[in-house]
Chains A and B, each alone.
Chain A
Amino acid sequence: MVTLFVALAVGAVLFGIGLYGALSQTNLVMIMMGVELMLGAAMVNLVAFWRFLHPEVYAGQMFVLIVMTVMALEMAVGFGIATGRFRAKGSVEMEEARELKG
């Protein structure tokens, strides 16, 4: 039970740090880093739930694989947007971005 609480507590704190980062940063790449931390926190919780509550149901591990995929896709599409934005405006500062067009 102790390890479950330790894992959930770590997940909660990581989620808070990620949320702070995603909201406070002005740079697109740094915002993505915050989102990555939040997804990492979700994965910690999922693994803890699988390990300590239902190790016989592999849907828990499957869910972690899906979250890992979402992390990779978020990076790919995020960097695609960053590249497009950098070509158009010469910067990936989101303070200056009012819309995603061009």
Chain B
Amino acid sequence: MAQAVFTGSFGVAAIWFGVVVFRTSSMVRSALALLFSQAAIGGMFLAMETEFLGVLQIMMMATEMAIMAIFMVMYMMDPGGLSEMDMTHQKRASLAAGVLGAFGALAVALLAGWGPVEVQVPAATAQVHDLGIEIMERSMLIFETTGVTILTAMIAATAIAIQRRH
């Protein structure tokens, strides 16, 4: 029961900060709200006894959102949100799509037969060990492909961003 309470509490925090991302007019606050939302998701992972992924999520998102905040200050016309600019469009259709998507996913979660639930989970050290074995054995090709994809994305992002010579 304690696990459900902690998972739910972190979940409510993730949802609340997720809403704040699109409610505040300050872009810096938006980036920080997204950081807290993703950190709360990391907290959910910890509550669900997935320690390695939880810590990884919190560390990765802290770095990612810090970089995002810098880019927001660089590129936004009004990063502080002082002039209360409206930067939205097709609000009603977007809201309908969001509500429909959420209710669709909720319906699947409630109506699908998930089968028996596992109570026991491997210890944190065993999880890290077994995940390492998974990466180095069965999922080696996926892991290598991910590495090449990261390299490709880095080159592509740099190629797009550099100033062109005319």
Interface residues in B40-54 by Cβ distance below 8 A to A read 41, 44-45, 48-50, 52-53
Main secondary structure of the interface of B (DSSP, over half): helix
Which residue of chain B is the closest to A21 with respect to CB atoms?
B22
Q: Which residues of A contact B15 (CB under 8 A)?
A: 10, 13-14, 17
Contact A55-B11, Cβ < 8 Å, known A4-B117, A6-B4: no
Chain B residue with Cβ nearest A49? B114
Which residues 88-102 of A have a CB within 8 angstroms of B? Answer: 91-93, 95
CA distance in complex: A17, B94 (Å): 10
Chain A residues, Cβ within 8 Å of B68: 29, 32-33, 75
For residue B77, which residues in chain A have a CB less than 8 angstroms away from its CB?
Answer: 91, 93
A39 to B41, CA, bound (A): 11
Q: 1/0 contact trace for B59-88 toward A, CB 8 Å?
A: 010001001100110111100000000011
Contact with A along B103-119 (1 / 0, CB 8 A): 11110011000110110
* Interface band, chain B: 35 or more
- Contact between B156 and A77, CB atoms less than 8 A apart: yes
The verdict on A37 contacting B150 (CB below 8 Å), with A8-B109, A23-B98, A51-B48 known, is no
Chain A positions 78 through 90: 1 when the CB is less than 8 Å from some CB of chain B, otherwise 0: 0111111011000
Chain B residue nearest to A100 in the complex (CB): B160
Across-interface contacts of B49 in A (CB, < 8 A): 51
Number of A-B contacts (CB under 8 A): 240
Interface centre among B12, B75, B115 (most CB of A within 10 A): B75
A29 surroundings in chain B (CB, below 8 A): 27, 68, 71-72, 75-76
Residue B124 interfacial (CB < 8 Å): no
Return B4 CB to nearest CB of chain A, in Å. Answer: 4
A11 to B131, CA, bound (A): 23
- Min CB gap A20→B, angstroms: 3
Interfacial chain B residues near A11, Cβ < 8 Å: 105, 109
Using a CB–CB distance below 8 Å, which chain B residues touch chain A? 1, 3-4, 7-8, 11-12, 14-15, 18-19, 21-22, 27, 30-31, 34, 37-38, 41, 44-45, 48-50, 52-53, 56-57, 60, 64, 67-68, 71-72, 74-77, 87-91, 93-95, 97-99, 101-106, 109-110, 114-115, 117-118, 120-122, 127, 130-131, 133-135, 138-139, 142-143, 146, 149-150, 153-154, 156-161, 163
